[in-house]
Structure 1
Amino acid sequence: MNILSIQSHVTFGHVGNSAAVFPLQRAGHEVWPIHTVNFSNHTGYGDWGGPLTPASEVTAIVDGLERRGALEQVDAVLSGYQGGADIAGAIVETVRRVKEANPNALYACDPVMGNAKSGCFVSDEIPPLLRDKVVPVADIITPNQFELGFLTGQETTTLEQTLEAVRAAQEIGPRTVLVTSVLRPQTPEDSIEMLAVDGQRAYLVATPRLPFKRNGSGDVTAALFTGHYTATRDAQLALARTASSIFDLLQLTYEAEATELALIESQEYFASPRLQFEVQELG
């Protein structure tokens, strides 16, 4: 699979393309990254250096790929943290051009906005653009539970509410929705769930919940699910492989007390997921 990944880049640590490219490569995919920012580190540190990439430069890179005849070889476009508000239009136009060259290509959007603990951490211009302009052209979206609620304007406290919000998101455009960091009243304190809905079929997987969080884990999740789903068109298998790899990545990071994801140390788990968690199909 050839995946065109339009996301942020950091020199230090692992978020955006710096989190997505290597796991996808170890999973067996060719990845062509386009960086929406070129920062020293992720913004969670409160201080960083480096520029946003103007939309015109993103488009110029896509123009160059088109001259190489590469767009028709793209199997999936993946987008994540967008940086400037002007990037949304460049992404949508890139998706249009890729699908014109290869109608079988998929577009996976990770609508990065924030989380339940921190709230929104992107520019106020970004969430409406994602909801109104980007998500409607996506085949796959990978929001966390908080982001799903924002996109749809619905409560996501229970599993039933979350499924209703997924159906509302599907009405906007995407057929396939992966919801990460799912918590509900029935969830044990030591567990966390992921929900994947593909058309009418829904799948749920629970993994142990580790008592910490590291930036970039959502980026790896979106990347791996996109790669596995694009290769197999099987949401259940893609969810099982992704959940397995992400848990092992986080467990290694936690055990090492690392401040950034232990991406290199976890590479065998990307190449050969252990599939240690059962995926339940919801009736």
Structure 2
Amino acid sequence: MLAITQNAFGGPEVLQVAEVDRPRPGPGEVLVRVAATSVNAADWKVRAGLISALGDPPLTLGLDVSGVVDELGPGVERFAVGDPVYGMVFGGANAEYVMAQASTLAPIPRSVDFVQAAALPTAALTAWQSLAALGAGQRLLVHAAAGGVGHLAVQIARHRGAFVAGTARAANHEYLRSLGADEVIDYTAVDFGTAVRDVDIVLDLVGGEYGSRSVRVLRPDGRLIDAQGSDAESDPRYERFYVEPSGVSLREITTMVERGHLRAMIDQVLPLPEIAKAHRISESGRVRGKIVLVAWNPPA
């Protein structure tokens, strides 16, 4: 089968199309014929060697997958060959086929296609799981609110009845208001620390020095949920967050999607062989929503 591989850490140019062995599912696993995948920040950080989540090269990136079940491993009963599914995997989705634990997959929402479904898993799971404790009437601040995770977090929080503030460039303000944001802060012109206060939860999707700045807007019993790594680790309100693949959580997300309460914004759709271009765009930090990559000969 075809896959995008890399034999060394480096820039987007290390990504190459290669012929590799097609995997076979083991107990509890499902082989998925990939229709589409998407780019997450973790993809280019692994490619560049900034994080070591997948080990050393050679390796194939790709966390998000939408496609159809091609083969079942022993003991898998919740799916059948031909079922349309989506989910989050720990690498390997930038290929014609990818292996996944059946427990991490869910049926694709009936209201979306493969492209929309591929934009959801990692970003939606991150937003869903990190905001699990957010309730009606609470105040949330989302950094990078127009990005892949941020724009979904805004929708989830608004649906739960929270007051939602977000940081974003001015060009994205009207868009975020259309998603339900109550207050949008242009971080290029205004210090968010002076624009919002008494926040119950800060979802930090930027990291670095945003951490120490964010704790200053929190209530004494507030929480800083950091998905990137920041300088606020010593604060007792700091929580480092790591997303977990979960078919159970995806089914809850599916319900929101099917009821019209959640939709992934697609910035661009590119063929999977143009993945180097997609990584360059993602690294620029100027993506509204997600970049989706369509695989070779995707299933109908």
Using the size of structure 1 for normalisation, the TM-score is: 0.29
Using the size of structure 2 for normalisation, the TM-score is: 0.27
Largest Rg, 1 or 2: 2
Q: Which has the higher contact order (CA 8 A, sep 6+)?
A: 2
Structure with more helix by fraction? 1
Structure with more strand by fraction? 2
